[in-house]
Amino acid sequence: MPQKLNIKWERIKMKWITREKVKVDRVACPWLIKKFIDPEAEFLFVPEEKVLDVASRVGAMPFDFPGVELGHHGGKCSFEAIVKKYNINDPAINLLAQIVHGADVTKDLYGRTEAPGLKAVAEGFRRLGLKDDHEILEKEFILYDALYAYCQQKIKEGER
C-alpha cells in the first residue's frame, strides 16, 4: 500500500512587474488583476531600464511596458490588453476600459467624458507625497472600485 504523504498545498502568488511612478494604466491594471484575475497578485515597480531583467530573474509577468504582450498595441492601452487576454467579459469593465484608455492614451478612441477627470485624479495622487507606488495603489484602488460601480450603473441604464 502506498504511503500517504502529508503535503500542504499553497497557491503560488503570481508576480507582475512594470515601470515605477505609476499613473493611470499602471494603477488600473493592478486593480483589474486583483479584482478579476489574481487576488493574491504581487506587484513590482522598478526603473524602466530594469523591467525586463528583473521580470526574467524573478519570473514576473511584465505589463504596461513597450514590446510586451500586456502593453499598448493597436492604439489600445494595457488595461484593454489584459481584458482581452484574460477574456474578462463584463460590460462594466469594457466601459471602464474606455475611460482608462481616454485618460492614458493621447489618441482617445472613445471620447468618454469621464476620462479627463480620471487623468486629473491620477496626476493628483502622484503629487500627494505618498511613500511609493504600492501606497498609491492602496489609496487609489477605492477610486477604481467607485468607477467600476459607476460603470455598472451606466450599463444598467443602457449605456455601452
- Tens digits of pLDDT across the chain (160 residues): 444 444 444 445 789 999 999 999 999 999 999 999 999 999 999 999 999 999 999 999 999 999 999 999 999 999 999 999 999 999 999 999 999 999 999 888 899 999 999 999 999 999 999 999 999 999 999 999 999 999 999 999 998 7
Residue 104 located in a structural domain = yes
Residue 150 located in a structural domain = yes
Residue 64 located in a structural domain = yes
Residue 6 located in a structural domain = no
What is the distance between the alpha carbons of residues 143 and 118, in angstroms, rounded to a whole number?
Answer: 9
pTM (2 d.p.) = 0.89
Residue 5 located in a structural domain = no
Residue 7 located in a structural domain = no
How many Cβ atoms from other residues are within 10 Å of residue 146's Cβ?
10
Strand partners for 61: 16
The count of structural domains within the chain is 1
Structural domain range at position 63: 15-156
Residue 98 located in a structural domain = yes
